[in-house]
Amino acid sequence: MSKSTTLFLGLMLFSMFFGAGNLIFPPSLGANAGTNFPLAITGFIFTAVGLPLLVLTALSFVEGGVRTLASRVHPIFGFVFTMIVYLSLGPFLAIPRNATLAYEMGLKPFIPNSPFALVSFIAVFFLLVFLVSLNQNKMVDLMGKIITPLLLLSMVVLVVAGFIQLKNGAIEPATPEYVQSPFLKGFLEGYNTMDALAALAFGIVILTTLKQKGVTEVKMMRREMMKAGLLAGVLLAVVYFSLGYIGVKMAGMGSFENGSVLLSSASLLLFGQWGNLLLGFIFVLACFTTCVGLISACGNYFHSLFPKISYKKIALFFTLISFGFANFGLNSILSLSVPFLIATYSLTIVLVVLSFFHPLFAGSTYVYVGAMSLTGVVALYDGLKAFGFTFGIVDTYMGYLPLAELGFGWVTLALTGTIVGYGIYLIKRNSLITTKQSLEK
């Protein structure tokens, strides 16, 4: 495959990862981290970029994608886990959220309040999303060669103006949560982007695109996927650092409710009223590319499950569902979907980490089941807590788990489950060896 195709594939992957949430987190981190920004943004990049790259790498070694990876635990688990990932990331959360944010930042500031404005905007938005996702063979050309360069150019204009005009701005002291452990706090902020889950979904888009480009040899497909992931990761890291630095410089100019408000204020300061137009354009492009990627990912996956139903019909189905949720009851959908994402994230990390050590325990189901079962206990607990449930004395005992206060209570149980599973694997293996030797005698 040509270098230019690899380049555009990497740009397309970057644009799919870079949604509205990725715009908002880094400026907010920069404003709060202040003098500790270098350590904080390093931690952020470690998880916001590193984890998704690990997921893509793991998927490149597994033929069949995330379901094959998850089926190492059990086929039923593989099916259920993959369904939750695609539906939560797709029509039940990320797609309608991005579409709504595109309206909030891209059109709403410039028009009078109207009950039909959101519906009209979302209708046009999803029509374009559907049309672009319809022809996957041309997605690289459109997103990699046109939309992503426009997005990056807009970002460059914003960032360069920010670096020049804000260079003399004072750097504020770090807020309390960034004083003691800025790296760890940044690590947790990057963890909360949940892009590792998005990587599970986007992996199938990249693999499908490579096949359509004529790449069929497994090693070459793996190599090209990792190249695209690395390019996307570098671009994401540069953008995150740049947006975070703007947040650092803006911190002394007032308090901001969130990263969106901070960016709006920065754009207004740098470009006057044109700043809102520039920022709106950036948000719309970022949201659009993410929605295209997710519709395409859902379409590919469910087409693989139901090959008799065309990709086009499945993509249309998910587009229409996303359109409905973007216009009606989005808040309730968010409250329902976020707990699923929280519960799924720790399971994703454990599954991906185990995949890199797969040869060391010969892919033993005991190891996968042990690690995932105990991780699942905390994952289920965290998900139910996110729903608003309380469990009395169970809450107290869960709080005793190491790192529980940071949201990493699952780590200890994951290690315990892995060790127990590995011990069972060794016992079973040695028993088989002994039996075989006895039979040979």
- pLDDT tens digit sequence for 395-405: 888 888 888 88
- Report d(CA 395, CA 12) in Å as an integer: 43
State how far the Cα of 15 lies from the Cα of 8, in Å rounded to an integer.
10
Q: What value, to the nearest 5°, has the Cα angle with vertex 344 and ends 292 and 79?
A: 75
b/e sequence 168-177, b meaning 16+ C-beta within 10 Å: eeebbebeee
Predicted confidence at residue 439, as pLDDT, reads: 65
Neighbours of 434 (CB within 10 A): 10
Q: Are 195 and 349 in contact (CB under 8 A)?
A: no
Handedness of CA 236, 31, 406, 80 (dihedral sign): negative
Residue 319 to residue 313: CA distance in whole angstroms: 10
Q: Distance (Å, rounded) from C-alpha 119 to C-alpha 128?
A: 14
SS3 letters across 227-256: HHHHHHHHHHHHHHHHHHHHHHHHHHHCCC
Tell me, what's the pLDDT at 236? Answer: 93
Q: Give the per-residue pLDDT at 40.
A: 95
**Predicted local distance difference test score (pLDDT) of residue 417:** 95
Q: How many CA atoms lie within 13 A of 244 on its CB side?
A: 28
Give the closest residue to 293 by CA, choosing from 229, 202, 368, 426: 202
The pLDDT assigned to 335 comes to 66
**Tens digits of per-residue pLDDT, 299-334?**
988 998 899 999 999 999 999 999 988 877 556 666
Residue 330, SS3?
helix
Cβ(26)–Cβ(243) below 8 Å: yes
Positions in the chain short of pLDDT 50: none
Q: Report residue 81: phi and psi, to 5°.
A: -60, -45
Return all residues near 33 (Cβ < 8 A) that are at least 6 apart.
39, 40, 41, 174, 175, 178, 182, 185, 186, 244, 248
Instruction: Quote the pLDDT of residue 416.
Output: 95
- The CA R_g of the chain, rounded to the nearest whole Å, is 23
| Residue of 100, 150, 147 lying closest to 126 (CA atoms) | 100
Q: How far apart are alpha carbons 65 and 255 in whole angstroms?
A: 44
**Cα→Cα distances 268→13, 211, 251, 411, Å:** 30, 45, 15, 44
Rounded to whole angstroms, how far apart are CA atoms 29 and 36? Answer: 10
111 φψ region: left (φ > 0), alpha (ψ -120 to 50), beta (else): beta
Spelled out in words, what is the top-level CATH class assigned to the domain 3-328? Answer: mainly alpha
Nearest Cα to Cα of residue 41 among 261, 228, 241, 338: 241
How far apart CA 378 and CA 373 sit, in angstroms, is 9
